[in-house]
Amino acid sequence: MRIAVISDQHFGFDWNGDRADDPFRNCREAFEKARDADLILLPGDLFDKKVPKQEVLGRAIDLFNCFDGETSSVQLDSDRSDKTVSFRGPPIVAIHGTHERRTSDHLNPVELLEKMGYLVHIHNETLVFSEGDETVAIHGMSGVPERYAPQVLDRFDPEPVADAYNILMLHQSIDQLVYTDPDHDTLSLERLPEGFDTIIDGHIHWRNLELKDDDKPVVLPGSTVTTQLNKIEAEREKGMVWIDTETGLSFDALEEPRDVVYIEEDVSDLSSSEIQEQIENEIDERSTMDQRRPLVRVKLSGTTNAAVSVGELETALESKALISISDETTIPNEDTDDSTFDHSEQSVYEHGTALLEERIDQPAIDDLVTHLADGNVETARSMLETMVTEHDEETGDSDTTEKPGSTLKSFVDTDD
């Protein structure tokens, strides 16, 4: 069986910005590739927001309509599955991700697509498919708050189906692969169950097929769209993963994603115009210059007396690239005195960290600001979510869409 895995499409990402089209454009290319798949798996974060705009939903539906008229000889074995559904074309199985997660009394957008008949959404459920004498079992746990993930997975306790190719689909941070909160229990490679042929984890936006080993065969398909301007995302191609139950895994790169360029520039002894020239040269060399401006992230480092204006540089280069520049240069022969707090001598990073640490008793602030400064927005968001949940639990606050007090129960419950 040939199974297509397409993750983290993030429909609606940058909706009012320059990159609003990117998630749809990239997913269209992936869906086109997947049209002749026997089975399609979507490991979460199809949507960027839990309540997407109707325009975003509409465009997502347009994409799913590309499977109309396609057929698959794969059948759902309803006797051995937790759900009975019919499919229009090739079966599409999805879990919801962190961006779509709502409590169980609210409909999330992946569940909405299920109601429309485009896919089947699972959470702590297993579906068994067969084609001829071949059987494939898909076990899915949708995204839950990281701190509850080990417990929710333990309670789900997915049991590999005998004589089947077993795939476990998750959408969580996994310790060792990405930042996890050291103060809380989170999923780790050791905590993942054994007996699965492949464990697919959405959520982590850079692909990694190299992790696959016999005991914990974890595969990160990565996102189809660049949402974070960090080095690792810039360096790894976007695309989708094929699981061929006979021949194994392969990565299928998108051919037309927007260029992403990550530049680290030592600007010691360079003037402002020289810095601009250097960056322009790098962009020219490292992007293909199609009709879309490349996404460029620049980190300036080194020691310089030149007054580098990040804002002016960004403006000067904006016709060439969607650019964001961070200035991490230092002034030469600077006398630093830790006992005084003069932020004119500090970088934004140092100033921000000091202020936050002064006001908030949170040992993770330094990590948080580092991730923000590196453009790891997703990781920072997860960290903030953890901090806010803890804060709410301590103070008894809660909002109407996410109720921390009742979280574990509502994430363990299945939908039926």
Which residues of this protein are in contact with Mn ion, per CB under 5 A?
Answer: 8, 45
> Number of helices and strands (H, E) in the chain?
11, 15
Minimum Å gap between C-beta 378 and Mn ion is 6
Minimum Å gap between C-beta 240 and Mn ion is 15
CA distance 223 to 240: 8
Minimum Å gap between C-beta 329 and Mn ion is 32
Closer residue to Mn ion, CB minimum distance, 327 or 378: 378
Closer residue to Mn ion, CB minimum distance, 45 or 114: 45
Closer residue to Mn ion, CB minimum distance, 25 or 293: 25
296 — phi, psi (to 5°)?
Answer: -125, 130
Q: Are 376 and 383 in contact (CB under 8 A)?
A: no
Minimum Å gap between C-beta 164 and Mn ion is 28
Buried b / exposed e along 262-273 (16+ C-beta atoms within 10 A): bbebebeebebe
Minimum Å gap between C-beta 372 and Mn ion is 17
Closer residue to Mn ion, CB minimum distance, 11 or 118: 11
Minimum Å gap between C-beta 209 and Mn ion is 18
- DSSP letter string over 206-269? S-B-TT--SSS-EEB--BSS-----HHHHHSPPEEEEEETTTEEEEEE-SSPPPEEEEEEE-TT
Q: What angle do CA 218, 198, 67 make, to 5 degrees?
A: 110
Closer residue to Mn ion, CB minimum distance, 8 or 29: 8
Q: How far is the first Cα of the chain from the last one, in angstroms, to the nearest whole number?
A: 29
Closer residue to Mn ion, CB minimum distance, 37 or 178: 178
Name the strand (E) or helix (H) holding 281. helix 272-286
Closer residue to Mn ion, CB minimum distance, 45 or 233: 45
Minimum Å gap between C-beta 312 and Mn ion is 33
Cβ neighbors of 253 (< 8 A, separation 6 or more) are 237, 238, 239
Minimum Å gap between C-beta 401 and Mn ion is 19
- DSSP letter string over 341-367? --GGGS-HHHHHHHHHHHH---TTHHH
Closer residue to Mn ion, CB minimum distance, 180 or 304: 180
Residue closest to 75 by CA, chosen among 2, 38, 130, 128: 130
CA distance 152 to 95: 14
> Nearest residue to Mn ion, using CB?
45
